[in-house]
Amino acid sequence: MSELKLPHRHGDERTDKVVDALPDIGAITTVADAMKHLGDPSRLRVFWLLCHAEECVLDIAAAVEMTSPAVSHHLRILKTAGLIVSRRVGKEKLYKAADSLVVDALHRSMEEIMNATCPRDREGE
């Protein structure tokens, strides 16, 4: 049981369990930062694409109907946030979603909220 004493007791014992289960501020900050970086519809679209494919700036720009400088801007933000990674192949840089629990959870949550089917899930149809 938590050492925290809430100032008002409303007779709900579940509150103590919820308070005890509160994630630490570091975990909350990680999620808040990821959500903050995905708060732009264009950036969210680029991120979703990169959850399913590894692409260069020009292909991403064509796919999401944006200019390559705009896509580059969004890629920088996503990369700084640790949501995507890149690798160089010859003169091109390819981008894809990072392989992490946060990225996987965000990807699945997006698809559930949008009621979208993951292209990987369609492959088994």
Please write the tens of the pLDDT for every residue from 16-29.
787 778 889 988 88
Query: Is the pLDDT assigned to residue 122 strictly greater than 60?
Result: no
3 state SS of 63? helix
CB contact at 8 A, 100 and 93: no
Whose structure tokens read 């965000």?
106
Q: Quick one: tokens of 45?
A: 């679209």
In a domain, 102, yes or no: yes
Q: Which of 11-15, 61-65, 70-74 is the least confident region?
A: 11-15
Report CA-CA distances (Å) from 45 to 61, 89, 91: 11, 24, 25
Domain range enclosing 91: 14-114
Instruction: Tell me what the mean pLDDT of segment 79-88 comes to.
Output: 96
Q: In CATH, what number is assigned to the domain containing residue 53?
A: 1.10.10.10
- What pLDDT was estimated at residue 18? 79
In a domain, 92, yes or no: yes
Domain count, the chain: 1
pTM over 0.85, yes/no: no
Q: Would you tell me how many other CB atoms lie within 10 Å of the CB of residue 121?
A: 10
